[in-house]
Chain A
Amino acid sequence: MTACLVFLPLLAVVAILMGSNPRRTTRITTSLMLLGGITLAALWAMNMRDGLAIDPVVLTKPEIRLGFDLYDGMSVIMMLLSVIVAFAASRTGDCEDRHSRLWNISILLIAAGAVGAFVSTDLFFFYAFHELALVPTFLMIGILGRGERRQIAWKVTIYLAFGSIVLLAGLLWLVAASGSSSLSFDELLRTSIPVEAQRGISLFLIVGFGTLVSLFPFHSWAAPAYASAPAPISMLHAGVLKKFGLYGLLRLHPLVPEGMHHWLNLLIVLLIGNILWVGFVTIHQKRLDTMLGNSSVMHMGYIFLAFAALTEAGSELANPIAQPAAILLMFGHGVTIAMLFGLADRIEHRTGTLELRDLGGLAGKTPGLAFLFGLAAMASIGLPGLANFAGEVMVFIAGFKGWHHGDPFGWLQLATIAALWGLVISAVYMLRAYRSIFQGPGVQATREAGDLTVTERPPAIFLAFVLLAVGFFPNLLLGLIDKPEDEAVIDLQAITTSIEPAPGTTGLNSRQPATGN
Chain B
Amino acid sequence: MLELLAWLLLLLPLFSAAVIQLWLKEIPGPAVRMSIFSVVTTFLLTLILLAGKDTSTAIKWASAGSFHIEIGLLIDDLSKGMMLVVTGVGMLVHLFSLGYMKDDGAKARYFGGLSIFMFSMTGIVLASNFVMMFIFWELVGFSSYLLIGHWFQKDSAAEAAKKAFLVNRIGDFGFMIGILMLWGLFGTFAFAEMADGARALSENSNTVTGIAVLLVFCGAVGKSAQFPLHVWLPDAMEGPTPVSALIHAATMVAAGVYMLFRLQVSAGALLFEGFAGTTIMWIGGITSLLAALMATQQDDIKRVLAYSTLSQLGYMVMAVGLAGDHGGEAGMFHLYTHAWFKALLFLGAGAVIYACHHEQDIWKMGGLLGRMKKTAITFAIGTGALMAICPLSGFWSKEQILEAAHHENPALFWLAIVVAALTPFYMTRLFIVAFLGQARAHGAKEAREVPGIMLYPLFALAAMSIIAGFPSIAGKLSPAFHHPEHAFNPTNPIFLISLAALATGLAAGVLLYRGRDSDPLAGNPVFRIFRNKFHLDELYLVLVRFCQDTVAAVIHFFDEFLIGELIVGGLARSATGLGNVFRRLQSGNLQGYAILFGAGIILVIYLTVFAR
- B65 in contact with A363 (CB, 8 Å): no
Report A426-440 CB contacts with B as 1/0, cut-off 8 Å. Answer: 011001100100111
List the B side residues contacting A487 at CB < 8 Å.
Answer: 66
B175 to chain A, nearest CB (A): 9
Q: How far is the CB of B598 from chain A (nearest CB, A)?
A: 4
Q: Does A38 contact B (CB under 8 A)?
A: no
Please state if A217 and B609 are interface contacts (CB–CB under 8 Å).
Answer: no
Whether A64 touches B158, Cβ cut-off 8 Å, given contacts A139-B591, A220-B568, A393-B131, is: no
- A438 / chain B contacts, CB cutoff of 8 Å: 152
- Say yes or no: is A209 at the interface (Cβ < 8 Å to chain B): no
Chain A count of residues within 8 A CB distance of the other chain: 96
Q: Would you give the shortest CB distance from B563 to chain A, in whole angstroms?
A: 5
B62 touches A283 (CB 8 A): no
| A280 at interface, CB cutoff 8 A | yes
B609 touches A124 (CB 8 A): yes
Complex alpha-carbon distance, A441 and B595, angstroms: 49
Interface positions, chain A 415-450, Cβ under 8 Å from B, are 416-417, 420-421, 423-424, 427-428, 431-432, 435, 438-442
Taking CB atoms and an 8 Å cut-off, the chain B residues in 363-393 that contact chain A are none
A439 and B153 contact, CB distance less than 8 A: yes
Tell yes or no: B527 within 8 A of A by CB.
no
Closest residue of chain B to A149, judged by CB? B590
Across the interface, which residues of A come within 8 angstroms of B205, CB to CB? 405-406
A127 proximal to B (CB < 8 A)? yes
**Assuming A162-B571, A321-B64, A475-B60, is B184 touching A139 (CB within 8 A)?**
no
Chain B, 518-572, CB within 8 A of any chain A CB: 548-549, 551-553, 555-556, 559-560, 563-564, 567-568, 571-572
Complex interface: stretch among B135-143, B461-469, B475-483: B135-143
Contact assessment for B69 and A393 in the assembled complex, using a CB-CB cutoff below 8 Å: yes
Known: A280-B552, A439-B152. A421 touches B173 (CB 8 A): yes
Find residues 52-81 in chain B having any chain A CB closer than 8 Å to their own CB: 60-67, 69
User: Are B549 and A283 touching (Cβ within 8 A)?
Assistant: yes
Q: Does A384 make an interface contact (CB < 8 A)?
A: yes
Cβ of B159 and Cβ of A417 under 8 Å apart?
A: no
Query: Of all chain B residues, which has the CB nearest A165?
Result: B601
Verify B152–A440 contact, CB threshold 8 A: yes
Q: Please name all residues of chain A whose beta carbon is closer than 8 Å to the beta carbon of B155 when the two chains form the complex.
A: 439-441
Query: In the complex, are the beta carbons of A128 and B563 less than 8 A apart?
Result: no
The answer to whether the Cβ of A142 comes within 8 Å of any Cβ in the partner chain is yes
A153 within 8 A of B: yes
Q: Is the CB of B556 within 8 A of A280?
A: yes
* A204 interfacial by beta-carbon distance below 8 Å: no
**Are A153 and B590 closer than 8 Å at their CB atoms?**
yes
A158 at the interface (CB under 8 A from B): yes
| Shortest CB distance B315–A (Å) | 29
In whole angstroms, how far apart are the Cα atoms of A283 and B170 in the complex? 16
Whether B579 is near chain A, meaning CB under 8 Å from some CB there, is: yes
Which listed segment binds A: B42-50, B161-169, B250-258, B317-325? Answer: B161-169
Q: Which residues of B contact A481 (CB under 8 A)?
A: 64
Cα distance A370–B391 when bound, in Å?
50
CA distance A164 to B61 in the complex (A): 38
- Which chain A residues lie closer than 8 Å to B60 at the CB level? 475
- Residues 19-54 of B, flagged 1 when their CB comes within 8 A of A and 0 if not, give 001000100000000000000000000000000000
Q: Name which residue of chain B comes closest to A404, CB basis.
A: B184
Q: In the bound complex, what is the Cα–Cα distance between A283 and B550 (angstroms)?
A: 10
The answer on a CB contact under 8 Å between A172 and B608 is yes
Contact between A62 and B69, CB atoms less than 8 A apart: no
Contact across chains for A423 and B605 when beta carbons are under 8 A apart: no
**A451 contacts the other chain (Cβ, under 8 Å)?**
no
A373 within 8 A of B: no
A93 interface residue per 8 A CB criterion: no
Place the interface of chain B in its size category: 35 or more
Contacts of A424 in B (CB 8 A): 166, 169-170, 173
Chain A contacts of B149 at CB under 8 A? Answer: 439
Chain B residues near A175 (CB, 8 Å)?
A: 609
State the Cβ distance, A6 to closest chain B Cβ, in Å: 16
Q: Kindly report which residue of chain B lies nearest to residue A323, judged by CB atoms.
A: B64
- Chain A residues touching B, majority SS: helix
Smallest CB gap from B59: residue in A: A475
The residue that B153 contacts in the complex, of A217, A361, A383, with Cβ under 8 A, is A361
Cβ of B594 within 8 Å of any chain A Cβ, yes or no, is: yes
Contact A441–B563 (Cβ < 8 Å): no
Q: Is A321 within 8 A of B67, CB to CB?
A: yes
Residue contact B180 to A416, C-beta cutoff 8 Å: yes
CB proximity to A under 8 Å, residues B177-211: 177, 180-181, 183-185, 201, 205, 208-209
> Of the 9-residue stretches A20-28, A84-92, A129-137, A495-503, which lies at the interface with chain B?
A129-137
Contact B576 A405 (CB under 8 A): no
Contact between A283 and B173 (Cβ–Cβ < 8 Å)?
A: no
- Known A-B contacts A218-B568, A364-B153; the reply to A320 vs B66 at CB < 8 A is yes
Distance in angstroms between the alpha carbons of A134 and B62 in the assembled complex: 34
Bound together, the chains give a CA A219 to CA B562 distance in angstroms of 12
List A contacts of B15 (CB < 8 A): none
Query: Is A389 an interface residue when CB atoms closer than 8 A count as contact?
Result: yes
Quick one: CB contact mask for B406-438 with A, threshold 8 Å, 1 for yes?
A: 000000000000000000000000000000000
Which A residue sits closest to B137, measured CB to CB? A384
**Contact B165–A431 (Cβ < 8 Å):** yes
Cα distance A393–B169 when bound, in Å?
15
| B184 engages A131 (CB within 8 Å) | no
Q: Are B136 and A384 in contact (CB under 8 A)?
A: yes
Q: Which of A226-234, A350-358, A394-402, A504-512 sits within the interface?
A: A394-402
Q: Quick check: A281 and B67 within 8 Å, CB to CB? A: no
B604 contacts A by Cβ under 8 Å: yes
* Closest B residue to A220 using CB positions: B564
Residue A183, interface by CB 8 Å: yes
CB-based nearest A residue for B109: A367
A208-240 contacts to B, CB under 8 A, are: 217-220
A474 at the interface (CB under 8 A from B): yes
Q: Determine the chain B residues whose CB is within 8 A of the CB of A367 once the complex forms.
A: 25
Task: For chain A, residues 149 to 178, give those with C-beta under 8 angstroms from any C-beta of chain B.
Answer: 150, 153-155, 157-159, 161-162, 164-165, 168, 171-172, 175-176
Also in contact, A475 and B62, with CB within 8 A (given A139-B591, A384-B135, A389-B138)? yes
The docked-state distance in angstroms from the alpha carbon of A367 to that of B172 is 30
**Bound: A323/B65 CA distance, A:** 10
Q: Which of A217, A400, A420 contacts B567 (CB 8 A)?
A: A217
- Chain A contacts of B593 at CB under 8 A? 157
Which residues of B have CB within 8 Å of A427? 165-166, 169
Residues of A within 8 A of B560 (CB): 220
Partner of A363, one of B152, B176, B602: B152
Which positions 36-72 of chain A face chain B at CB distance < 8 Å?
A: 59, 61-62, 64
Least distance between B171 CB and chain A CB atoms (Å): 10
Beyond known contacts A59-B610, A423-B169: 4 more, CB 8 A cutoff: A168-B605, A431-B165, A440-B153, A481-B64
Interface on B for A, CB 8 Å cutoff? 21, 25, 60-67, 69, 131, 134-136, 138-139, 142, 149, 152-155, 158-159, 162, 165-166, 169-170, 172-173, 176-177, 180-181, 183-185, 201, 205, 208-209, 548-549, 551-553, 555-556, 559-560, 563-564, 567-568, 571-572, 575-576, 579, 590-591, 593-595, 597-598, 601-602, 604-606, 608-610, 612
8 A-B contacts (beta carbon < 8 Å): A138-B590, A154-B579, A217-B568, A393-B62, A393-B135, A420-B177, A440-B152, A483-B65
The 3 residue pairs across chains A and B that have the minimum distance between CB atoms: A320-B65, A439-B158, A284-B556
Residues of A within 8 A of B (CB): 59, 61-62, 64, 124, 127-128, 131-132, 134-135, 138-139, 142-143, 150, 153-155, 157-159, 161-162, 164-165, 168, 171-172, 175-176, 183, 217-220, 277-278, 280-281, 283-284, 320-321, 323-325, 328, 361, 363-364, 367, 371, 378, 382-385, 389-390, 393-394, 396-397, 399-400, 403-406, 416-417, 420-421, 423-424, 427-428, 431-432, 435, 438-442, 473-475, 478-479, 481, 483-484, 486-487
